[in-house]
Amino acid sequence: MEDLNHHRIKTNGIFLHVVEKGTGPLVLLLHGFPEFWYSWRHQITFLVNHGYHVVAPDLRGYGDSDSPLSYNSYTLFHLLGDLVGIIDHFGEQQAFLVGHDWGALLAWHLSLHRPDRVKGLIAISIPYHQRNPDAKVIESFRRIYGDGLYICQFQEPGRAEKAFARYDYLTVMKKFLLITKTDNLVAPLDMEIIDYLQTPSVLPPWITEEELQVYADKFQETGFTGPLNYYRAMDMNWELYGAWQGSKISVPSKFIVGDKDIGFDTNGTREYVLGDTFKSLVPDLQVVILDGHHFIQQEKAQQVSEEILAFLHKLSVD
Give yes or no for a contact between 68 and 14, defined as CB atoms under 8 angstroms apart.
Answer: yes
The pLDDT value recorded for residue 2 is: 66
Residue 231 bears catalytic tag? yes
The CATH class that applies to domain 5-317 reads alpha beta
Mean pLDDT in residue range 103-114? 98
CA 39 to chain centre: 10
Q: How far is CA 151 from CA 48, 55, 228, in A?
A: 35, 29, 9
Give yes or no for a contact between 5 and 19, defined as CB atoms under 8 angstroms apart.
Answer: yes
- What's phi and psi for 163, nearest 5 deg? -70, -45
Of 74, 128, 230, 231, catalytic: 231
Query: What is the number of other CB atoms lying within 10 angstroms of the CB of residue 55?
Result: 26
pLDDT digits (tens, 9 = 90+) for 191-228: 999 999 999 989 999 999 999 999 999 999 999 999 99
- CA–CA dist 74, 99 (Å, integer): 17
| DSSP codes joined into one string, 165-226 | TTS-HHHHHHHHHT--TTS-SB--TTS-HHHHS---SS--TT--HHHHHHHHHHHHHH-SHH
Angle at which helix 209-222 crosses helix 169-177, to 10 degrees, equals: 120
Mean pLDDT in residue range 147-170? 97
| DSSP codes joined into one string, 257-317 | EETT-TTTTSTTHHHHHHSHHHHHHSSSEEEEEESS-SSHHHHTHHHHHHHHHHHHHHHHH
- CA–CA dist 285, 287 (Å, integer): 7
The string over 176-199, giving b where at least 16 C-beta atoms fall within 10 Å of a residue's C-beta and e elsewhere, is: bbbbebebbbbbeeeebbbebbee
Whole-number mean pLDDT of the chain? 95
42 pLDDT higher than 80: yes
Sheet holding 5-11, edge to edge: 5-11, 14-21, 53-57, 26-30, 95-100, 118-124, 253-258, 285-290
Mean pLDDT in residue range 142-170? 96
Give yes or no for a contact between 172 and 178, defined as CB atoms under 8 angstroms apart.
Answer: no
pLDDT digits (tens, 9 = 90+) for 127-148: 999 999 999 999 999 998 999 9
Q: Which helix (H) or strand (E) holds 135?
A: none
318 pLDDT higher than 70: no
Mean pLDDT in residue range 65-82? 97
Q: Which amino acid is at 179?
A: I
Of 58, 66, 82, 101, catalytic: 101
Helix (H, G, I), strand (E, B) or coil at 29: strand
181 pLDDT higher than 80: no
CA 240 to chain centre: 20
Q: Between vectors from CA 43 to CA 108 and to CA 205, what angle results, nearest 5°?
A: 110
CA atoms within 13 A on the CB side of 107: 32
H helix and E strand count, the chain: 15, 8
- CA–CA dist 42, 112 (Å, integer): 28
